[in-house]
Copies of this chain bind each other. A is one copy, B any other.
Amino acid sequence: MGSPVYIQIHNEIKKAIEAGKWSVGDRIPSERELAVQFHVSRMTLRQAIQTLVEEGILERFVGSGTFVANQKVQEKMSGVTGFTDLMLAQGKQPSSKTISYHVMSPSLSEVEKLKLKDDTQVLRMERVRYGDDVPISFEVATIPLEIVEGLSKQEVSESLYRTLETKKGLIPGHAKQMVSASSASERIAEYLDIKRGDAILRLRQISYLQDGRPFEYVRTQYVGERFEFILEK
């Protein structure tokens, strides 16, 4: 085993909680007790607990003990997630229609945003997204070809984030989003079943992997009346 002892203990405690040994609100044994059980010093045991507290899995109270925390909702939303998860979190059935799906040379803007080298190709797809079969947004997503190499069209279209994680082990780190408002063009209005000039919430998002590489540039136009973006900061 390569990893430090406190990480191993961290994992064991985490697994025990997931296995149901302790439920939300339960008090786990004291630091001194656990230190004996795991045959480590109290400081080392504390370090294991510390990491679990930082993950929001445990809460500590002086004089009372250490308890299994109830997972906060905004925690789940704070991560970088795609449209699919966003809709599911709001209890709506997500679906989408792919308008176009082509490999092509990137635009200047795309080269810049995705930090592409001169000769790289990209996959660009246009989609209309629905929540409970009502059109919510029109989006143009651009992805470097190397990222989606070996993935099927369905895998890319359906749930890119999940596929990248399971098939390639690529995990989104952070994202930069630019939000503004504009009016719907004739073409977009058609797709979204609204009138030309209706209010559009524009979102441009650059998603980065945990190592800092940009892997997706998405320009989304949301129907103003049908979408609300909720943030906690």
Contact = CB atoms under 8 A, between A and B. Distances in A.
A228 interface: yes
Nearest to A177: B231
A233 B182 contact: no
Given A200-B199, A201-B201, A224 B176 contact: no
A199 B177 contact: no
A176 B233 CA distance: 7
B183 A198 contact: yes
A178 interface: yes
Q: Which secondary structure dominates chain A's binding surface?
A: strand
A231 B181 CA distance: 15
A222 interface: yes
Given A78-B233, A80-B233, A233-B78, A199 B174 contact: no
Interface in A157-181: 174-181
Contact of A179 (B74, B231, B232): B231
Interface string A174-214: 11111111110000000000000111111000000000000
A183 B199 contact: yes
A224 B181 contact: yes
Copies of this protein in the complex: 2
Contacts of A62: none
Interface residues of A, number: 30
Given A80-B233, A231-B231, A233-B80, A201 B181 contact: yes
Contact of A199 (B175, B181, B228, B232): B181
Interface string A5-44: 0000000000000000000000000000000000000000
A233 B175 contact: yes
B179 A179 contact: yes
B180 A229 contact: yes
Given A181-B202, A182-B224, 7 more contacts: A174-B232, A178-B228, A181-B201, A182-B199, A183-B198, A197-B197, A199-B200
13 contacts: A79-B233, A174-B232, A176-B232, A178-B231, A179-B228, A180-B201, A181-B181, A181-B199, A181-B201, A181-B222, A182-B225, A199-B224, A201-B201
